[in-house]
Chain A
């Protein structure tokens, strides 16, 4: 398996006049193609910061960050946006769907931005919504969907751009346990069937139970890295 994500001595340091906070403190790790990995740790341990760095949403203070061999810490902000569009799928804690678009339009939104043809984008959106179990709700707007259904649309949206990996920041945090179970089963299935790489930041024991690799952070440092 090839490395999809590789970090070397990655630091993110926040400074103010009085102190210096090492949110990510020299993290070196390698995520391989097809992994189903959870980054865990207490609040403030640096999970979300690490995920933001890997996702190109934030820039490291020092260190290198390679996505399939490309050092994205050297990309300009504009190049980073384009890189995210074509390489990374995001699933956010609070779904973050565009409220004025239907489920299908939310999914095809990414493909529209990629410049794909409308017909092809519509076809793939329907396929993806079918795959996440929302084939009947393609024309519903987010407000008409439950939290679990919205997060499924977010998963379909994350997959729409055919990304190299998907970053999911606390994806089950706002879901009831049944919806969370369903969502996780679905993501696990996608991971196994499509070899889609998932990297979670989570507190949720259900994700930890399903993850095949668990990286534990404390004070911005990797304190354990267990492959089940």
Chain B
């Protein structure tokens, strides 16, 4: 039966080549597309988490649902040191995020986000100092601030001028202070450029009248796949009756949704591709079945059971599918691996901006075995569905009619 099936696939070279090519392009294009989509989104998310928000955040229990100053936390230095020692953790950054009204000498004022950072750790994480366009970066306990370029233009201030900040302190205390501008920063997004202010963590703690307080602790890890495992270890390292431990999938829901909607769009395109390929294969299968109807009748007349004949025809399609799958994998795997190890570089202003944020300006491809296996299984499923047509025709075959066809 194997010999018969193998030879049958070569009886019409053109049809066989079309079928194999359909399978090949389905595997090749779907792997490349998914690898590119997953790779670019994966890198973008990883960049964002590593340089900005962290993969894991620790807050006082209830802070995430009610982000007010009264829900700020305190944590012993010993516990923070312990968090630093957890496997895969590369950066633990306590920070303060609050809001204030900023006013300048020119009677200009604006509501802004105030972020208290450890200047050294933040620079190591997001290369903030590289984005200074005028002035200097913050010292460890600096009492000055950094503001966005657009905000400085709005408030008509420059390096050396002072900003008055008025906000809400801890437990109802007023938060008021006058802060000299140390540097002007260029941010990649207009929202950040016109509404963000950085100050050192001690200065921010003083501003909100909470000397050891933080709004949260941001933890970056070296391997996104170790998220769940690290999340577990972080939870074990702290008192979870006091603190909440959230993964980026909770804190960055919007980004996750955007990635998921992009992935969904890619999947729609893939489904269209699968349909085109599936109907292409089905077309050749229908043609083959129609052409060989008489032959099917003849072998059943001679004594071949219909089930065995259907198996033989299914084997033909299986052989063609396997050849197409193998060819698709042989061509796509080296390409994916090449761009995984040598990601596509991004040029122009975006590359400059990404570098300034400490991000690598490249689009890598994902090279996960799951990606290859899933695409192979989907294409196998599609061809299996097309096999149903000749199988049905054979099982319903009326021998005498088929012989006359």
The reply on A52 being an interface residue by CB < 8 A is yes
Complex CA gap A226/B121 in Å reads 111
Would you call A96 and B295 a contact (CB within 8 A)?
yes
Chain B hits for A86, CB < 8 A: 303
Would you call A92 and B298 a contact (CB within 8 A)?
yes
Residue of A nearest to B399 (CB): A57
Chain B hits for A36, CB < 8 A: none
Residue of B nearest to A55 (CB): B301
Which of B7, B10, B305, B400 makes the CB contact (< 8 A) with A52?
Answer: B400
Query: How many residues of chain B have a CB within 8 Å of chain A?
Result: 21
A92-135 CB mask vs B (1 if < 8 Å, else 0) is: 10001011110001000110011000000000000000000000
The reply on B49 being an interface residue by CB < 8 A is no
Known: A57-B399, A57-B403, A98-B4. A81 touches B11 (CB 8 A): no
Complex CA gap A105/B157 in Å reads 94
Query: How many residues of chain A have a CB within 8 Å of chain B?
Result: 24
Which of B295, B299, B304, B400 makes the CB contact (< 8 A) with A58?
Answer: B400
The reply on A213 being an interface residue by CB < 8 A is no
Residue of B nearest to A82 (CB): B303
Known: A85-B303, A96-B298. A101 touches B403 (CB 8 A): no
Would you call B301 and A90 a contact (CB within 8 A)?
yes
Give the Cβ gap from A106 to chain B, nearest Cβ, in Å.
10
Chain B hits for A157, CB < 8 A: 302
The reply on A78 being an interface residue by CB < 8 A is yes
Residue of B nearest to A167 (CB): B301
The reply on A203 being an interface residue by CB < 8 A is no
Would you call A113 and B304 a contact (CB within 8 A)?
yes
Which of A52, A81, A92 makes the CB contact (< 8 A) with B303?
Answer: A81
Chain B hits for A92, CB < 8 A: 298, 403
Complex CA gap A86/B305 in Å reads 13
Interface-centre pick from A85, A86, A98, A157 (highest chain B CB count, 10 A): A98
Complex CA gap A55/B297 in Å reads 13
Give the Cβ gap from B157 to chain A, nearest Cβ, in Å.
86
Chain A hits for B391, CB < 8 A: none
Give the Cβ gap from A52 to chain B, nearest Cβ, in Å.
5
Complex CA gap A110/B4 in Å reads 13
Would you call B7 and A90 a contact (CB within 8 A)?
no
Would you call B7 and A84 a contact (CB within 8 A)?
no
Could you tell me which residues of chain A, from 57 to 101, have a CB within 8 Å of some CB in chain B?
A: 57-58, 78, 81-82, 84-86, 90, 92, 96, 98-101
Residue of B nearest to A161 (CB): B303
The reply on B300 being an interface residue by CB < 8 A is yes
Would you call A78 and B305 a contact (CB within 8 A)?
yes
Chain A hits for B134, CB < 8 A: none
Chain A hits for B11, CB < 8 A: 99-100
A-B contact pairs, 13 of them (CB 8 A): A57-B399, A58-B399, A82-B303, A84-B302, A90-B301, A92-B298, A96-B298, A100-B4, A101-B4, A110-B303, A113-B303, A113-B308, A161-B303
Starting from the known contacts A57-B301, A81-B304, A92-B403, 15 additional A-B residue pairs (CB-CB under 8 Å) come to A57-B399, A57-B400, A57-B403, A58-B399, A81-B303, A84-B303, A85-B304, A86-B303, A90-B301, A92-B298, A100-B4, A100-B7, A100-B8, A109-B4, A114-B303
Give the top 4 A-B pairs by smallest Cβ distance, nearest first: A85-B303, A100-B7, A96-B298, A58-B400
Could you list which residues of chain B lie within 8 angstroms of chain A, going by C-beta atoms? 3-4, 7-8, 10-11, 294-295, 298-306, 308, 399-400, 403
